[in-house]
Structure 1
Amino acid sequence: MSRTTRLIAPLAAVSLLALAGCASGTDAAAGGAELGSEENPVQLGVVGASDPYWEVYEAAAEEEGISLEIVDFTEYSQPNPALTAGDLDINQFQHILFLAQYNEESGEDLQPIGATAIYPLGLYSDKYDSPEDIPDGETVLVPDDATNLARGLLVLQSAGLIALEDGGSAYSTPEDIIEEESRVNVETVAADLTLTSLPDVAASIANNDYVTKAGLDPESAIAVDSASDESALPYVNIFAVRSEDADNEVLNRLVEIYQTNQDVQDGVLEVSGGTAVLADTPAEELQASLADTQEAFAASK
């Protein structure tokens, strides 16, 4: 099989967006050919097309009669504007929170049509084997950067260690902790200090990058966010399309192929070091979560 992957670098992306219809699968230049045909391949934007499972995925799509061209971007800021401009038919590189911020800031209406995986944020301890074992009044650390801070608080709430005002959101802060309903004290530190400080506290929230650097097994986390937990939905990675294409049969079939092809799923797990939690959350739930997250983002401004 001959595989075509286009790399869009920052300057090239500007040129791409300036050229009307040069890559759009729905452009009139395709001569009205059906989307997914050889004459009009689906343009899928990603960041990191060198991951081996993308080639497996492309082959699986072709076996289903869908011609697919993977467009590789070098920066996360690029695939959504390219999709908005019609230079892509679909993209897959972001979670709902990222898309919500893009939609709110740009005034656009890109929509998720399928989930891929959530890359868990974990709670680690060298003293306790489960959140239930942590005594009341102990201290737990969370990273102080905005995204991981809110997400870490949601993990602690899901683990039964704290309670957050209004159930928490992707924009929660320590000020939202309901002290009288919480079992532990929460302190914030720089992300790279959460695990180095572990001997001094009951537990720490840490993302996979720092877990690996600390020589810990990601599977040793005593709690992680789950794709089935509503509070974790904003962090589920998704396929996104323009709103008018949300019901497109070819694009939705591509989601099904990703979610059901075992070789693709195994490849995603391998690249993540076994930490990805594969997800098949229905599009309706993803879209509802996007609406809620956009509302929370607007309210946080």
Structure 2
Amino acid sequence: MKLHRITTTAIAGLFAATALVACGSDSDGSSTTVADGTDGVTIRIGTTDAAKEAWTVFEEKAADEGITLDIVPFSDYSTPNEALAQDQLDVNLFQHLKFLAEYNVGSGAELTPVGSSEIVPLALFWKDHDSIDGIEGESVAIPNDPSNQGRAINVLVQAGLVTLKTPGMVTPAPVDIDEANSKVSVIPVDAAQAPTAYQEGRPAIINNSFLDRAGIDPNLAVFEDDPESEEAEPYINVFVTKAEDKDDANIARLVELWHDPEVLAAVDRDSEGTSVAVDRPAAELQEILDRLEADQANS
């Protein structure tokens, strides 16, 4: 089945249009909803990973269920939530819970997680080393963006290399590190520059997307955070809808289809074996989101 795909440019044009047509409306202007269990429905879903194999397999699985996926590809991380909030999407899948919390608090939106997909561990790399033995005294390059900096510091906490002044912080900053009781120091850099630091011989925490671009084997990591730990919960990737659509049965079916063995196998190939499937109930995801939003609002 050949499905219509909308570019981010087209989405921007839709936002600017004065005669904007609401998502799912009929030609006569009456509102329609996705009927539970009805073949032939179309669901608009946004992602930043549309080119990956998993999305092709996912699309085919949905088609087998009578659901047409109108996959909307995005090249940035801000537009998919705006598109969802403005009814240009029914659901998106591109972000972890912490990113969603930051968006909701910053925008006043109430976008809601309805299912989980996977978590991609964040890892420490050290050229020509296969463990963290001997790393004491080194300066570790970490991403400087808010979403990843705190997680990177907590990777070092889990590795026993950094001690925080206040244990258990979800998003610590370099100022929160107890330098006197830590084994390494940190140097925040632009996430895209972390691979360069690694190639120069400095230990570095590198996001998966930049590993791929730099041609670094993710299996060379000397340490990574534990996807089963409480510290990793903010980084569970989720399906997200508007609050009023959280009980949509067809979207719930999409969440189930993402966990089909063939889709999961494709996700594993896409991530070179680094992603870990996560299947958490929507209620648990919402509880985590609530905690993160409270923390974000008080920061």
TM-score norm. by structure 2 comes to: 0.83
Secondary structure at the aligned position of 1:62 is classed as helix
Moved more, 278-287 or 232-241: 278-287
Compared with structure 1, are the counterparts of its residues 271 and 242 closer, same or farther at alpha carbon in structure 2 (3 Å cutoff)?
same
Verify: 1:93 aligned to 2:94, yes or no: yes
CA contact (8 A) 1:23 1:87 kept: no
Other-structure match for 1:270 = 269
Q: Which runs of 5+ in 2 are unaligned?
A: none
Amino acid at match of 2:219: E
Compared with structure 1, are the counterparts of its residues 90 and 17 closer, same or farther at alpha carbon in structure 2 (3 Å cutoff)?
farther
Moved more, 208-217 or 92-101: 208-217
How far 1:191 moved relative to its partner?
4.0
How far 1:294 moved relative to its partner?
1.6
CA contact (8 A) 1:43 1:69 kept: yes
CA contact (8 A) 1:37 1:67 kept: no
Compared with structure 1, are the counterparts of its residues 189 and 33 closer, same or farther at alpha carbon in structure 2 (3 Å cutoff)?
closer
Verify: 1:83 aligned to 2:84, yes or no: yes
How far 1:239 moved relative to its partner?
0.4
CA contact (8 A) 2:23 2:89 kept: no
1:88-237 pair list within 5 angstroms? 88-126=89-127, 128-131=129-132, 133-134=133-134, 136-164=136-164, 165-170=166-171, 172-179=172-179, 181-191=181-191, 194-198=194-198, 203-212=203-212, 215-237=215-237
Other-structure match for 2:252 = 252
Secondary structure at the aligned position of 1:161 is classed as coil
Verify: 1:297 aligned to 2:264, yes or no: no
Amino acid at match of 2:207: N
Amino acid at match of 2:232: A
Distance (Å, rounded) in 1 between the aligned partners of 2:29 and 2:41 = 10
Distance (Å, rounded) in 2 between the aligned partners of 1:200 and 1:162 = 22
Distance (Å, rounded) in 2 between the aligned partners of 1:72 and 1:127 = 37
TM-score norm. by structure 1 comes to: 0.82
Q: How many residues align?
A: 296
How far 1:216 moved relative to its partner?
3.4
Superposition CA RMSD, Å? 3.2
Other-structure match for 2:286 = 287
